[in-house]
Chains A and B, each alone.
Chain A
Amino acid sequence: MSAGDTAARAAQRDDATTDGLQRVREALATRVLGKPRQIDQALACVLAEGHLLIEDVPGVGKTTLAHGLAQALGLSFSRVQFTSDLLPSDILGVSVFDRNAADFRFTPGPIFAQMVLADEINRASPRTQSALLEAMAEGQVTIEGRTRDLGRPFTVIATQNPVDQSGTFNLPDSQLDRFLMRITLGYPPLGEEKRLLAGRTERAEPLAPVIDAAVLAQWQRAVAAVTTRDAVLDYLLRLLRFSRREGVFVQGLSPRAGLALRRAAQAWALLSARDFVLPEDVQAVLPAVVDHRLTATDGGDRTPSTILLEQVDAIAG
């Protein structure tokens, strides 16, 4: 009896998760028009506890997506506009001398938020970039000898202009690897853009939070619990091994990339209201997860994820 009870409760909780996710999606869809796939990808990235890089030309809604995500998920949000003269302390925070207390008092920087939007990250100097990226990797920052925890959830959404724009410092490959996903938004479809133009010109109301940080943490735990059977692990292995074959890519996927791919696929499965991963989940997140980590040697038109997709058998046998 009790076993059945547990199962029923689990099913109920799953339904609640699915509903919650659906409502977050719908809320976001009112802000970012005509981009359901990108919304899903961004959501999957947050659910997978990863950091997101959005790469696109200015003005297509990168900031809107990041902001909306923080609002809908009920997360504290801060935004850093990266410029070439931005210093690490501008992000991390500084200790200032408090006359009254006769002591140094730490003023936390914008990094101390649950969701940080690092706008135009490639405009900052490499030194500042790396301060942010360290924080992303460690989940904590060390300022003046003291290590401070950033808390959870902690997600960085960085936006980047296409690399050929002037006045930019490209992120090195090692740092790109720290972003779980890289997505592009692109221009909205015709009908959606018309709706956008016809809409009200003043700034939209902030989104009402759909959930809060506690629920998000619960969802993130649910992602980690999504079943990944051997059939999928073997597929992931085949993808990784293929990416490391000589002559296909400049450099193969790292084990970290493999873990990222698995976690992203788990998140995608949860978004698809499933408690197990299918090869199709892996394929769905493949472009966002691997395209910024791989460079094809042949310099052809096909993206790295396309090459992987075509060459690797989805089902062993």
Chain B
Amino acid sequence: MSRAATTASWPPAPARGQRLRLTGCLALVALPHLFHLPPWVSAIAATLLVWQAQAAWRSRPLPGRLIRFALAAAALGSVLAGFGRISGQEAGVSLLVMLLALKLCEIRSHRDAMVFLSLTAFLLITQFLFSQSLAMAVYLVIGTWLITAAFIDVSSEIAPTGAFTHSARLLLQALPVAALLFVLFPRVPGPLWGLPSDAGARATTGLSERMSPGSISSLATSDAVALRVRFPAGDMPPAPARYWRGPVFWDFDDGTWRGSPAADALPAADIRPVADAIVRADITLEATRHPWLIALDVPLGTDHRSRMSPGATLYAEDDIDERIRYHARSALAYRLDPRLGAAARERATRLPAGGNPRARATARRWRTQADAPQGIVDRALTHFREHPFHYTLSPARTGRDSSIDDFLFETREGFCEHYAGAFTFLMRAAGVPARVVTGYQGGERALVGDYWVVRNSDAHAWSEVWLDGRGWVRVDPTAAVAPGRIEAGVAGSLSDSQALPYMARADEGAWYRMQMLWDGVNAAWNRWFLAYGPQQQQRLLERIGLGGLRGALVALTFGVAVLLGLLALWLGWRMRQRRAADPVTRQWQRVCDRLAAIGYPRARHEGPQAYGARVARARPDLADELGAIVAGYIRLCYAANPGSADTQAFVARAAAFDPRRPRKPRD
């Protein structure tokens, strides 16, 4: 009888090449995460990956169970200690990255590798929780390609180069189905990728709920896109009219302007647009984590569900946690609140009890000199124009309690929030109802594509005063100091442009053009892919003449998707069936399964004879029965000309085999 040389330790580590490839696959998928996860997580994950790669390179044996358990516990503990939880976006992804790096320690079988790769694919998807940019999408496609290739690599004997080609072919084949599902699959409203638990935790740039000196000039150094606008009919209004209305601040205290929730008690703004001054714009707003919807001043309404605030700002029902698209109507000529209620007038003239005495005194003096509120406004603007005020991104510091006084009479350096804040203060001190409006001013035409880009660096603050008979009137004191700010953007009015972001500078180098080009590509990506929601789906279907069928179509798609899933399941099941369709193989597998269940699984290298002999040695009570089964199987599979009687005998014997059944002890 033959003796199989099976002295090697079992189970072994996977082949070195495969181990390296799996490690590389994970490293590639985890790479973008390492940049945005907390540094300590990235450091641990990177260390684990390097360790795994080194172990694979040197073909070191896999660590023992105790070490693996300790490492996994340490990973869990560190995430708990660092985040205080193990769920949620960052904590969850951190844990996943670390545990996957550890999972490499225990990949022994084909099944382990499949589980590992499935989890790696899941990790790949989590990238979308952090970024949905086009570049990330491209990266994810490459990642999907590699993971598919890895799946092929661990599942077959095809050489890795073959796996890459094969994987690419599979992805290309899946493309039409994916495209169809993308277009037709029922769209859910709301963010698909935002996890509510972490939604507020991420640092956001953009307008905020308050305004204090420095809050907007800090935005001016960010060239991130705030919104993109298309004008379906007509074009962008001329530069002086490009005011994008954001949150309005009624209350001043402690050097800070706020739009307190109490403002909600006031009635909604009463807007009377001039008929031929209405502009329509399709706006794509980046996530702000705030509820307001930016629109040209003054907004009339949007197709997004929203309400009008007392300050004539549009508010959505929830915070904007993902990029949205909406259609907004605005009136460039209007009358805003022709009649001012008593409560609103009181709010719009209220000042803190003390502080800034010089400003108050000046305002009182102007009031006595002027015969009408308009005169006070003009007087204040003249003050800004005639005194040596500087428009700068880096103004001298002012005291907190005397910020207005310091700015008006001492430093005379400031950005738009200084001017708007001081002007509004002066108006209130002079008894003229006034408030601060924040938003954006300006915008530039995209190099490619018919749309306009408004960046964070375009953030602006101005004032509104209420004049009898005219309602709220926009007054931009910054324009009095730096008229170029309104005409040519921030760069046109600052002498020290070194602090400005590249995109906000005036010169148009090749790099600038490239950036604009990239922005165009990104805008298309946002417009056609990311912002594709239920409304866009409806619109698209209407355009191709299937609008009325949306419900039916969506149901059909859903049905087909479910059907495809069932088909895949059925095919898999049938393949299993076919593989074991041969009753001999099926019964043999059954015997192996039953022996595995009592603790004697067949090692992959064991032939039937060696396996049977091993189990018989360990369980002499099974020896006779098992010996007959193994002999039958060997005869059927390996010997020449087995008869059908042999098959029947084997099948009957194997089917009756139950190692759990108690047996008489052997004599």
Residues of A within 8 A of B (CB): 37, 227, 229, 231-232, 238, 241-242, 245-248, 268-269, 272, 275-281, 283-284, 286-287, 297-300, 302, 305-307, 309-315, 317
Q: Does B639 contact A (CB under 8 A)?
A: yes
Q: Are B8 and A302 in contact (CB under 8 A)?
A: yes
Pair A315/B608 contact, Cβ less than 8 Å: yes
CB proximity of B459 to chain A, nearest CB, Å: 56
Residues in A with CB closer than 8 Å to B368 are none
**Contact indicator A310/B606 (Cβ below 8 Å):** no
Q: At the interface, yes or no: B215 with Cβ under 8 Å from chain A?
A: no
The reply on B306 being an interface residue by CB < 8 A is: no
Considering only residues 1-26 of chain B, those with a C-beta below 8 Å from chain A are 1-6, 8, 10-12, 15-18, 20
Q: Is the CB of A317 within 8 A of B638?
A: no
- On whether the beta carbons of B15 and A281 are closer than 8 Å, the reply is no
Contacting residues, chain A, for B174 (C-beta < 8 A): none
A278 and B2 within 8 A (CB): yes
Chain A residues with CB under 8 A of B605: 283, 309-310, 312-314
Instruction: Show 10 A/B contacts (Cβ-Cβ < 8 Å), sorted by A.
Output: A229-B639, A248-B15, A248-B17, A277-B638, A278-B608, A278-B634, A280-B4, A310-B10, A315-B602, A317-B588
CA distance A276 to B633 in the complex (A): 13
Q: How far is the CA of A315 from the CA of B609 in the complex (A)?
A: 11
In-complex Cβ contact of A242 among B157, B579, B610, B639 (8 A): B157
Q: How far is the CA of A311 from the CA of B606 in the complex (A)?
A: 11
Q: Specify which chain B residues have a CB less than 8 angstroms from the CB of A277 in the assembled complex.
A: 638
- Asked if B607 and A314 make an inter-chain contact with CB atoms under 8 angstroms apart, the answer reads yes
Task: Tell whether, in the assembled complex, residue B157 and residue A297 are in contact, meaning their CB atoms are under 8 Å apart.
Answer: no
List which B381-436 residues lie within 8 A (CB) of chain A. none
In the assembled complex, B661 has its CB within 8 A of some CB on chain A: no
Known: A246-B17, A287-B5, A315-B588. 19 other contacts (CB 8 A): A229-B637, A245-B17, A245-B159, A247-B17, A248-B16, A280-B607, A284-B3, A284-B4, A298-B59, A302-B8, A306-B5, A310-B11, A310-B604, A311-B12, A314-B604, A314-B607, A315-B602, A317-B579, A317-B580
Q: CB of B640 within 8 A of chain A? A: yes
Give the docked Cα–Cα distance between A247 and B12 (Å).
16
3 nearest A-B pairs in the assembled complex, by CB-CB distance: A247-B17, A279-B607, A227-B640
State the Cβ distance, A248 to closest chain B Cβ, in Å. 5
Residue of A nearest to B6 (CB): A309
Contacting A at CB under 8 A, from B604-652, are: 604-610, 634, 637-640
Give the shortest distance, in Å, between B8 (CB) and chain A (any CB). Answer: 5
Contact partner of B638 (CB less than 8 A), chosen from A238, A276, A286, is A276
**Bound CA–CA A163/B84 (angstroms):** 62
Taking CB atoms, residues of chain B closer than 8 Å to A284 are 2-5
**B214 located at the interface, meaning its Cβ lies under 8 Å from any Cβ of chain A in the complex:** no
Chain B residues whose C-beta falls within 8 Å of the C-beta of A302 in the assembled complex: 8, 12
Asked if residues A245 and B15 are in contact (CB atoms below 8 Å), the reply is yes
**CB pair A306 B638 closer than 8 Å:** no
Q: Spell out B's residues near A (CB within 8 Å).
A: 1-6, 8, 10-12, 15-18, 20, 59, 157, 159-160, 579-580, 585, 588-589, 602, 604-610, 634, 637-640
Is there an interface contact between A310 and B12, defined as CB atoms closer than 8 Å? yes
Q: B635's closest neighbor in chain A, by CB? A: A276
Which chain A residue lies CB-closest to B586?
A: A317
**Pair B157/A283 contact, Cβ less than 8 Å:** no
CB of A306 within 8 A of CB of B608, answer no
The answer to whether B59 and A272 touch across the interface, beta carbons within 8 angstroms, is: no
Partner of A313 from the list B4, B10, B11, B604 (CB cut-off 8 Å) is B604
Contact B16 A314 (CB under 8 A): no
Question: Which residues in A have their C-beta under 8 angstroms from that of B640?
Answer: 227, 229, 275-276
- Contact assessment for A297 and B637 in the assembled complex, using a CB-CB cutoff below 8 Å: no
Q: What is the bound-complex CA distance between A275 and B635, given in angstroms?
A: 11
A246–B160 touching, CB < 8 Å: yes
Chain A residues near B20: list those with CB within 8 A: 247
| Shortest Cβ gap from B131 to chain A (Å) | 34
Residue in A245, A272, A276 whose CB lies within 8 Å of B639: A276
CA distance A65 to B544 in the complex (A): 87
Residues of A within 8 A of B639 (CB): 227, 229, 275-276
Q: How far is the CB of A143 from chain B (nearest CB, A)?
A: 42
A310 adjacent to B2 (CB under 8 Å): no
Partner of A280, one of B11, B12, B159, B609: B609
Which residues from B are CB-within-8-Å of A298? 16, 59
- Residue ID in chain A nearest B10 by CB atoms: A310
Which of B12, B588, B607, B609 gathers the greatest number of chain A CB atoms within 10 Å? B607
Q: Is there contact, CB below 8 Å, between B16 and A283?
A: no
Given the known inter-chain contacts A245-B157, A284-B4, A305-B5, please indicate yes or no for A278 contacting B638, CB distance below 8 A.
yes
Q: Contact between A280 and B585 (Cβ–Cβ < 8 Å)?
A: no
Contact A247 B637 (CB under 8 A): no
In whole angstroms, how far apart are the Cα atoms of A231 and B642 in the complex?
14
Q: B59 to chain A: which residues have CB within 8 Å?
A: 298-300
A314-B17 contact given A246-B159, A283-B5, CB 8 Å threshold? no
CB distance from A264 to the nearest CB of B (A): 12
- Contact check, B8 vs A283: say whether CB atoms are below 8 A apart: no
A-side contacts of B2, CB under 8 Å: 268-269, 272, 278, 280-281, 283-284
| Chain A neighbourhood of B159, CB < 8 A | 245-246
B605's nearest neighbour on chain A, judged by CB, is A309
